[in-house]
Amino acid sequence: MNSIFELYQNIGWALSALVLGTFLLAGMVKGVIGLGLPTIAMGLLGLAIAPAQAAALLIVPSTLTNLWQLAAGGQLQRLIRRLWPMLLMILLGTGIGSLWLGIAGGPWVVRALGAALLLYAFSGLCLPSFRVHAGEERWLGPVCGLVTGVISSATGVFVIPAVPYLQALGLNRDELVQALGVSFTVSTLALGAGLLWQGGLGQVELGASVLALLPALLGMFLGQWLRQRISAPLFKRLFFVGLALLGAHLLING
């Protein structure tokens, strides 16, 4: 039990409040638009703590909320049959990135995190809708998976280019939400394995991550309630604008 609170005791009450508030906000965004929990967590926590520590904190909340997300929809087996080359390359890319780059720390990691957030925000705000055809899917899926894995191993952000790629497959809303859940779950587990191999995911970090699950789940419930009362497209646009500002700050001041 002590290990659950040990990290929070070490970083102090102010940073602990930042961590728990961040996961509450990140969970709320995920509840409204179906994504954003690890992206927001890495971005906001990257302002105050090392990216490796932030990545360790998100392992349990990200894994369990994504498992919840992928369990709904009834298309899991069909999606896995379609997406397995991309998912396999996410695992491979994360492994290669963990050996080659890692997320140990240093200004370049923070700047890389900022660049990843900025690129994701730009893709959400500016890129036109496009469609991946069946012939392109056979090679583009594995390429996107490999690149996503390498980027996530260095930054803890696993949305580029996986999310734009999945959005371009022509899936209906329920299928897309479930596909994102599958992709994010694989990415989170691969990132956790990389952190474990690097010595960044021990008992203390896992205990702190378990505690971060509570505000994340509360945020998801609040987000699902809020989704019925606000414009989801407007909320998503504000999310990307905020992400762009956060990414630019990390990139410039990392």
Distances (CA, A) of 44 to 32, 95, 202: 19, 25, 22
Looking at residue 104, its pLDDT comes to 60
The CA-to-CA distance between both ends of the chain, in Å, stands at 35
pLDDT band at 117 (very low <50, low <70, confident <90, very high): confident
Looking at residue 208, its pLDDT comes to 83
Question: Nearest 10 degrees: CA dihedral of 31, 36, 41, 47?
Answer: -130
Amino acid in the structure at residue 223: G
Q: Are 86 and 183 in contact (CB under 8 A)?
A: yes
Query: Which is higher by pLDDT, 46 or 253?
Result: 46
Q: Is 90 exceeded by the pLDDT of residue 13?
A: no
Q: Is 80 exceeded by the pLDDT of residue 4?
A: no
Range among 11-20, 32-41, 82-91, 216-225 with highest mean pLDDT value = 82-91
Rounded-to-integer distance, Cα 241 and Cα 194, Å: 30
Looking at residue 107, its pLDDT comes to 66
Looking at residue 5, its pLDDT comes to 61
The SS3 of residue 76 is helix
In this predicted model, what pLDDT tens digit does every residue of 42-70 receive, in sequence order?
888 888 887 888 888 899 999 998 888 77
In this predicted model, what pLDDT tens digit does every residue of 138-178 receive, in sequence order?
999 999 999 999 988 888 888 889 988 998 998 887 788 88
Instruction: Encode 90-107: b = buried (16+ Cβ within 10 Å), e = exposed.
Output: bbbbbbbbbeebbbeeee
In this predicted model, what pLDDT tens digit does every residue of 197-251 receive, in sequence order?
877 777 887 888 888 999 999 998 898 888 788 887 888 888 888 888 888 888 8
